[in-house]
Amino acid sequence: MDYIATLIAAPASDALTPAMAATAASVLPGEVRVHWLATGEACALHFHDEGAREESEIDLRATLRGLPVDIAVLPDTPARRKRLLIADMDSTIIGQECIDEIADMAGVGEQVADITARAMRGNLGFRDAMMERIDLIAGLDEAALARVADERLHLNPGARTLVQTMRRHGAFCALVSGGFTFFTRIIAERAGFHAHRGNELIFRNGRLTGVGEPLIGREAKRSHLFAFADEQDLPLELSLAVGDGANDLDMLESAGLGVAVHAKPLVAEEADVSIRHGDLTALLYLQGYEKADFIL
């Protein structure tokens, strides 16, 4: 079967050298074609292997151990270029956890951050974590949440480029969050997503009183992946999901390609691909885009 081993370094680091690419190619079976996607940053090694791709990936990781390079070995098929992007928001598309930022503004940051951390590690159920945190920030006025969005929420490196590039090449892009539509609406517009989904905060007389149910958690994220694929009349193999936390696992597992980006250990281990060094543009390299194709 034909495979592609993609090597990705952090943008502008020039950490990926021709010598490293040659060393990587030397441990792969047969004739290897090296295709540079971005000088010093990303290259694709095309090869044929009658064995399991996991064996080739193990060899590559052993050879490049300790080097600041992400490695992904994937089948070389027409489904490499995805037509549907489903992305988590908090700590994935943006660098923050919205509810932690709200809590910090409300003066209960440490308590809420502890709950969030336990939930992201999979040690606390999503619904229980949500309700505990909402109770702590209840009473906050709506204007404070608007200030959080304006002053504290920032797109992660490569987020807008990822979305805009996939859009330009015909993909449908949706932001699906266990966070709140108050923020997904804003972040979706900043990054350029076609659609967004999240949990609805409830306000009374301008103050936060709760969150609507049913909540969007782990199972609901996967359901939204299925729904968007059906809506776009696309097979799941043409879908790409990206996330970082435990409630993204079902979505990542069900997508044609599930990518963990700077994720919690459990998620990084379970995802098809784990990005530890690159930014969100790594998802474009995995699909075979060259840097010259990027919409910056």
Question: Are 41 and 248 contacting, i.e. CB atoms less than 8 angstroms apart?
Answer: no
Query: Which two three-digit tokens encode residue 278?
Result: 């690159």
Residues 6+ apart with CB under 8 A from 226: 236, 254
The DSSP code sequence of 155-194 is: BPTTHHHHHHHHHHTT-EEEEEEEEEHHHHHHHHHHHT-S
Distance from C-alpha of 82 to C-alpha of 60, rounded to nearest angstrom:
25
Question: Are 14 and 40 contacting, i.e. CB atoms less than 8 angstroms apart?
Answer: yes
Question: Are 226 and 219 contacting, i.e. CB atoms less than 8 angstroms apart?
Answer: no
How many CB atoms are located within 10 Å of the residue 166 CB? 24
Tokens 């987020």 correspond to 159
Residues annotated as catalytic are 88, 90
Query: Which two three-digit tokens encode residue 32?
Result: 């290897």
